[in-house]
Amino acid sequence: MAAIGSARSVLNNSTGRGPCCLGINRLQRERDFYAYSAWCFETRPKLHAHFLFVGDTAVVERLRRGAFAEIIQIKPGRSGRHCPRSGPARRRSRGGSQSGPRLGFSLTPTGVHPFGTSNRLAMFGNNFLELLAVTNVAAIPPAEGGHFNFAAHQQDFLKTAEGMSMLALHSTDAHADAARFRAMRIGAYAPFDFGRDAVLPGGGTARVAFSLAFATDAAMPGIAFFTCQQRHPPELFWKAEYQHHPNGALRVIEVVMSAPEPEQHRAFLERLTESAAEHAPGQLTVGERGDRIAVLGPSELARRLPGVAADGSPRFCAARLAVTDLDATRRLLKNNGVAFQLIDNALLIAPAASHGLALEFVEHEEI
């Protein structure tokens, strides 16, 4: 997964203050410390999700105890193209610039949001992964009643955890979704409209626009859900030139959650998705095969995702991707030094190797 940047990059583009900033820059140079980062994916016509990641947690813990902990926690860096390259590549964050190619994903140029975050995408034919970072803390809007603060949510999540912080569904009318969520008492938030420039393969830009509607559940603290409506012609966003990946990835086909009692979350997920959930031993699923959410209980989590720790609260714990040739994906991961297991015809990359979120690769016939 590609680097979003360095502590120096952030401080040079925000409200860095004197000795504190110099201290962060010095530690970044000495330890080759890179940034927090995040993945997100969107699937048309249904599933869209955000995956939040943190960089090198050992470095984070040391910096957290320093006088400038707050700045390090909330100021991820910029595009990996701007990362400092001087000195040996040691203790590089797992969100560093080599991680995207190492896992076999190609990324689009950086896009900048008006509310303090920026992104890069691993785009597929009908979905994408998004690498997201907070790059301009000064642009994050203040808290406002009745509004969900997207960027502030990411900051808060990263203070205590690494992994995936949000899941969203594709929408054709986010404003109507916001009204429906309010009526169903799963989200009393105003819809959120914004636009940004997308860099085209030829180097030009196109204006793209989005509307979001948010939903939350008190039984799932620390994570959130939203619908996303793309309000621009599809050809401005979906580019074939960006849809080829060395790992053979075709699309994200499933988001996996863990929960002590999956059945307890049936009502919320059914209201959110407007579809019926199905119960099976140890799990609950919502959506069609190849485009769904799975909520795993402790026993099924241990069987399907060995080594993935269960949490006392519901959490997003894995994403499953379809690939063209699983053997080719295996060879690429092996050649790139990425550890994996083969479980039930799926290549499993542990959370420790992919920023707190397990990744499963399956051959497209297996979905």
**Domain annotation covers residue 284:** yes
Calpha distance 152→158 (Å, rounded): 10
Which of the two residues, 174 and 44, has the higher pLDDT score?
Answer: 174
Q: Which residues does 328 contact at the CB level (< 8 Å), separation at least 6? A: 248
Model pLDDT, residue 58 = 41
Name which of 139, 313, 126 is nearest 217 in CA terms. Answer: 313
Among 286, 288, 316, 291, which residue's Cα sits nearest to residue 301?
316
Residue 11 falls inside a structural domain: no
For the residues 80-84, what does the mean pLDDT come to?
26
Q: What are phi and psi of 61, to 5 degrees?
A: -60, -40
Whether residue 69 lies inside any domain: the answer is no
Query: Region 129-151: what's the mean pLDDT?
Result: 89
DSSP assignment of 244-294, as one string?
--TT-EEEEEEEEEE-SSGGGGHHHHHHHHTS-EEEETTEEEEEETTEEEE
Is the residue at 38 inside a domain? Answer: no
Q: In the structure, what pLDDT confidence band is assigned to residue 39 with cuts at 50, 70 and 90? A: very low
Q: What is the pLDDT of residue 290?
A: 87
Q: Is residue 253 part of a domain?
A: yes
In a domain, 209, yes or no: no
pLDDT of 171 reads: 93
| 303/256 Cα distance (integer angstroms) | 13
Q: Judge whether 240 lies within some domain.
A: no
Which amino acid makes up residue 172? T
pLDDT of residue 3: 30
Query: In the prediction, which pLDDT does 107 show?
Result: 87
The 10s digit of each residue's pLDDT in 220-257 is 999 999 999 999 999 999 999 999 999 999 999 999 99
Q: What is the CB neighbour count within 10 angstroms for residue 156?
A: 15
> CATH no. for residue 297?
3.10.180.10
Residue 128 or residue 238, greater confidence: 238
Please state which of the ranges 28-42, 133-147, 270-284, 352-366 shows the lowest mean pLDDT. Answer: 28-42
Summary mean pLDDT of the chain: 77
State whether the Cα torsion 266-365-357-201 is positive or negative.
negative
Whether the CB-CB separation of 225 and 214 falls below 8 Å is answered with: yes
* Beta strands per DSSP E along the chain: 37-43, 47-53, 111-112, 117-123, 127-134, 166-170, 192-199, 205-215, 224-230, 249-258, 277-280, 283-288, 291-296, 315-323, 341-343, 346-349, 358-363
Q: Is the pLDDT of residue 362 over 90?
A: yes
Residue 227 lies in a domain: no
CB-based contact 163:40 (threshold 8 Å): no
pLDDT bin (cut points 50, 70, 90) of residue 335 is very high
Domain count, the chain: 1
C-alpha closest to that of 29 among 96, 94, 100, 83: 83
pLDDT digits (tens, 9 = 90+) for 150-173: 999 988 887 887 788 888 788 999
In the chain, pLDDT over 70 holds for what percent of residues? 72
Query: What average pLDDT does this structure show over 77-87?
Result: 25
Element (H, E) at 339: none
* Domain coverage including residue 334: 247-366
